[in-house]
Structure 1
Amino acid sequence: MPCYSFEEITEQDLTEVREIYNYYVSNTTISFHTEELTLEEIKASVINKNPRFKSFVIKEENEIKGYVLITQYKSKQAYDFSGEVTIYLKPDIVGKGIGGTALQFIENVAREQGFYTLIATVCMENTRSKSLFEKHGYEQCAMFKGVGYKFDRRLDIGSFQKVL
């Protein structure tokens, strides 16, 4: 069984993190961006000035396999104990159990940071992510029909929530 480590994302990781994310931008409906992100844009999305919101690369034998992060759910103070969880993996390793390991890791980080609940926003075409979150105790709590438009079609998103 592979052994994964988690290290906070640094400036040195940004090029590889950007490559992982931009694959999903260009090739899938997993990301709702329609144009690839620049290095500065990916930096802004994964390196947060607020220390409660954490971002980690997922490594196996010192090689980045993906990344996982907690971001701010909403920018109003009443939401301060809710976080949004995101996981992106290199496309060639999807389906090998890394997502579940990353999810358990980031949930522990969230607890340490005082979060009450985590929310994942998933394109409903992304059956792997839906299954991953449901398998780990997340419940679908919302569905938004046709809110995204990519590759000449309307896309639904669902929100999945877990109380920690």
Structure 2
Amino acid sequence: MRSIQIRVAQPADAEQLLAIYAPYVEKTAITFEYTVPTVMEFRRRIVQTLQRYPYLVAVEGGRLVGYAYVSPFQARKAYDWSVETSIYVAPTVRHHGIGKQLYDKIESVCRSMNITNLNACIGYPQSDDDPHLDKNSADFHRHRGFQLAGHFHSCGYKFDRWYDIIWMEKFISSHEKTPASVKNFDAVRAQFNLS
């Protein structure tokens, strides 16, 4: 496993993080976004996420090589204990344990925030020979303890073909009769020694 540092994303990271994300937009159906966002838009997304949730980056040799964050699963109050996860690793360093290290940290932070459910929305190919999407993300999440929660057919269209999505879920805390309120990321950040 590669030795990396994990820290909190900063708005100034937007350009480097966008360089990681752009190939996923342009060449894959891992994201259903058609157009690469601007640096300004990516910076806005980082700032918005950090108002409540963790947005973490992996640094190796001074270079950003991956990132992971969570966002609301749904907007209504009853969903507070559930979040949607997102993770992207630079294509040149995939399958080297960086995603695992990012998810380990995200899960620990979310657990300390009193979050109970992690949910992942994953593009899923309709054939095994799709040039833009494979099943690696589903396999990665399964290996991380996520289980299939739903399969939606032909709901995304990109690269002149239809794609399925699957939702996978992982329970990281028990579902108490009266759950503790979800804490803001800033309230738990210090205990994780994240700069």
- TM-score with structure 2 setting the length: 0.80
In 1, are the aligned partners of 2:2 and 2:98 still within 8 Å (CA)?
A: no
Q: How does 1:1-164 map to 2 (within 5 A)?
A: 1-48=1-48, 51-125=51-125, 126-164=134-172
> Is the CA contact 1:140–1:158 (under 8 Å) kept in the aligned structure 2?
yes
Amino acid at match of 2:72: Q
- Matched pairs, number: 164
Tell me which structure has the larger Cα radius of gyration.
Answer: 2
Q: Distance in 2 between matches of 1:50 and 1:89?
A: 19
Q: Is the 8 A contact 1:52 1:113 kept in 2?
A: no
* Greater RCO structure (CA 8 Å; 6+ sep): 2
State the shift of 1:40 in Å.
2.5
- Percent identity, please: 27
Which structure 2 residue ranges, 5 or more long, are not aligned?
Answer: 126-133, 173-195
**Residue pair 2:30, 2:122 contacting (<8 A) in 1 also:** yes
Deviates more, 1:21-30 or 1:47-56: 47-56
Q: Pick closer, same or farther for the CA change 1:79–1:160 going to 2, 3 Å.
A: same
Q: Which is strand-richer, 1 or 2?
A: 1
Aligned 8 A contact 2:49 2:55 in 1: no
For 1:73 and 1:105, locate their aligned partners in 2 and report how far apart those are by CA, in whole Å: 19
> Which runs of at least 4 in structure 1 moved beyond 4 Å after TM superposition?
none
Calculate the TM-score normalised by the size of structure 1.
Answer: 0.94
Q: Considering only aligned residues, what root-mean-square deviation do their CA atoms show, in Å?
A: 1.4
Q: Deviations over 1:35-59 (max 9, x none)?
A: 1111222123333266431101111
